[in-house]
A = this chain, B = another copy of it.
Amino acid sequence: MSYSSKYMRRAILLSERNVDKGGGPFGAVIVKDNKIIATGVNSVTAKNDPTAHAEIVAIRKAAKKLQTFNLSGCEIYTSCEPCPMCLAAIYWAHIDTIYYGNTKENAKEIGFDDSFIYEELKLSLPERKIKTQQYLSDKALGAFIKWNAKVDKIVY
């Protein structure tokens, strides 16, 4: 597979239409074997779901449609460079390629926190804005030991 402007135009059109509907200016399209598997638009405010960015919505739909948690062989076309949440989701989903329109700097200019969160993730835990503390590490490890010992586990 390789870049097709048709799918990028579709992602951009979705982003524009979503503004008209009162949502954030973001759209995404997931393509496999030159067919659209799923699309998504930012639905944070419409659905009261802070995780409902265009890419997350599209990934969830594509995985449901293909009945797999592994989207290798897929490409994502997104109207804006993915935020850290969406980029990490793309890694977890094993999507092959990312095509994007706007940059995170463009997103910052219109008031979205993408760049800020990218900077936060680079910091050590005590340096971050959100207070983060470890507790009961000895107890927490039990589930990891159990998982590790499990012979029939489904790895992803």
Residues of A whose CB lies within 8 Å of any CB of B are: 3, 5, 8-9, 12, 15-16, 18-20, 22, 24-27, 44-45, 48-51, 56, 59-60, 63-64, 67-71, 79-81, 83-103, 106-107, 109-111, 113, 116-118, 120-122, 130-137, 139-144, 146-148, 150, 152-156
Report which of B60, B84, B101, B106 forms a contact with A49, defined as CB distance below 8 A: B60
Asked if residues B50 and A93 are in contact (CB atoms below 8 Å), the reply is: yes
Extra pairs beyond A8-B140, A98-B133, A102-B140 (9, CB < 8 Å)? A16-B143, A18-B143, A24-B156, A48-B64, A81-B134, A84-B87, A85-B92, A92-B117, A106-B141
Q: Which of A24, A85, A121, A150 has the most CB of B within 10 A?
A: A85
Asked if residues A50 and B25 are in contact (CB atoms below 8 Å), the reply is: no
Asked if residues B100 and A132 are in contact (CB atoms below 8 Å), the reply is: yes
Closest to A55 in B: B51
| Chain B contacts for A22, CB-based, 8 A | 152-154
In the bound complex, CA of A91 to CA of B113 (Å): 9
| Chain B contacts for A98, CB-based, 8 A | 130-133
Asked if residues A5 and B51 are in contact (CB atoms below 8 Å), the reply is: no
Instruction: For the complex formed, measure the closest distance between the CB of A133 and the CB atoms of chain B, giving whole angstroms.
Output: 6
Asked if residues A24 and B147 are in contact (CB atoms below 8 Å), the reply is: yes
Asked if residues A50 and B44 are in contact (CB atoms below 8 Å), the reply is: no
Asked if residues A99 and B133 are in contact (CB atoms below 8 Å), the reply is: yes
